[in-house]
Amino acid sequence: MNPQITFLFFGSSTMSIYVLDELEKAGYLPAAVVTTPDKHVGRKQVLTPTPVKAWAIKKNIPVFAPQKLDAHFADTLKNTKADLFIVASYGKIIPETVLSIPPQQTLNVHPSLLPKYRGASPLQSAILNDDKHTGVTIMKIDALMDHGPIVAQKEIFVSEWPTYGEFEEMMAREGGKLLAEILPHWVAGKITEKEQDHASATSCPKFTKEDGEIHLNDDDYLNFRKIQAFNEWPQAYFFIEHSPTGGSEGAHKKIRVKITRASFTDGKLDIQTVIPEGSKEMAYADFVRGYIKK
């Protein structure tokens, strides 16, 4: 039987849900969740809750979705009497006035072996760098980005690169399992945190839409890793010159082609499905016949 631990969970994305699922399997549910406010999504701009808010509502768990983590909200958090806060893919910088509220401090689930890949894109960066010796870290958050002391780590080896979404789920679930394993020991004061080796720290950027562009004559394995890393956003893409009517050279138009599925076998990139600009998803072979071999 797990000891009773009262904690608040800060999270927003699908990755957060995987961590919450693993905590629940181990018998831990948050007293409340803190997430980012609802956003307008899609062409119709439908006001949509974060995945974490939707998850919490289904389980009748209270939800806070503040615009700002200000002093007023900090007072609200103090009233929850939580033992600790847990953060996984929240999406906002949490001020020290909030981090220091619970007596057992604030722990974070980070999908890399810190101090490697501090920052916004540890999973995508691991794929792009072909860094198959990776892992997850439970750290105590301090005032700087991914800078706090390490509470626990687990090494993970990736044999073949999955898509970003698959990789995110795998790493988040491993992080959730590791967190559930160490939680009672942390609360009982039986874990000694370890300072990161800041001199060997590396950082990873926030990617832009332009980072998704590939050139089909580049290295096949590099292109494959870009396709997998950017599978959810911005999706890897290339440009071609295309004449929709088969007309003169002057009628050619530059169109963007998104790659939605690919594999890498025997040293070769095999593009399987694409979405040409203004069209629906189709097999790459059909795209070649319809857009290139004219």
Domain assignments of the chain as residue spans, ordered by start: 7-204, 209-292
CB neighbour class for 109 (10 Å; exposed up to 12, middle 13-18, buried from 19): buried
Six token digits for residue 57: 């509502």
Provide the pLDDT for residue 215. Answer: 95
Residue 266 above 60 pLDDT?
yes
pLDDT of residue 254: 87
- In the chain, where does DSSP find H-type helix? 14-25, 51-58, 71-78, 96-99, 122-128, 164-187, 220-229, 284-287
What's the confidence (pLDDT) of residue 45?
87
Mean of per-residue pLDDT scores for the chain:
93
> Please, which pLDDT band fits residue 249 given cuts at 50, 70 and 90?
low
Indicate whether 257 pLDDT > 60: yes
Looking at residue 198, its pLDDT comes to 96
Q: Is the peptide bond before 162 cis (omega within 30 degrees of 0)?
A: no
Residue 294: pLDDT band with limits 50, 70, 90: low
In the predicted model, what is the mean pLDDT of residues 265-272?
Answer: 95
Cα dihedral 25/26/27/31 (nearest 10): -90
Share of the chain above pLDDT 70, in %: 95
What was the pLDDT predicted at 1? 44
Q: Which two tokens stand for residue 146?
A: 């991914």
List of residues 6+ apart from 264 with CB closer than 8 A: 161, 220, 221, 224, 270
CB 109 within 8 A of CB 175: yes
What is the CATH superfamily name and number for domain 209-292? Answer: Formyl transferase, C-terminal domain (3.10.25.10)
Could you say which DSSP state residue 292 is in?
Answer: I
- pLDDT category at 4 given cuts 50, 70, 90 is confident
Give me Rg for the CA atoms of the chain. Answer: 22
Percent of residues, the chain, with pLDDT higher than 90: 87
Q: Quote the pLDDT of residue 128.
A: 97
Model pLDDT for residues 7-49, shown as the tens digit of each residue: 999 999 999 999 999 999 999 999 999 999 989 888 788 889 9
Residue 106: which residues within 8 A CB-CB, separation 6 or more?
84, 85, 86, 87, 94, 98, 99, 100, 140, 141
How many other C-beta atoms can be found within 10 angstroms of the C-beta atom of residue 14? 17
**Backbone dihedral angles phi then psi of residue 47, each to the nearest 5 degrees:** -70, 120
The residue among 1, 94, 11, 2 whose CA lies nearest residue 49 is: 11
What whole-number distance in Å separates Cα of residue 161 and Cα of residue 159? 7
Q: What single-letter amino acid sits at 91?
A: G
Size (the chain), residues: 294
Q: In the predicted model, what is the mean pLDDT of residues 145-168?
A: 97
Please compute the mean of the pLDDT values over residues 243-250 and round it to a whole number: 56
Residue 276 in tokens: 């040409």
Residue that is written with structure tokens 């020290």 in the block: 96
Residue type, 277: E
Assigned architecture for domain 7-204:
3-Layer(aba) Sandwich (3.40)
Q: According to the model, what pLDDT value does residue 245 have?
A: 59
**What confidence category does residue 53 fall into, taking pLDDT thresholds of 50, 70 and 90?**
very high
* Distance separating alpha carbons of residues 43 and 93, to the nearest angstrom: 29
pLDDT at 108: 98
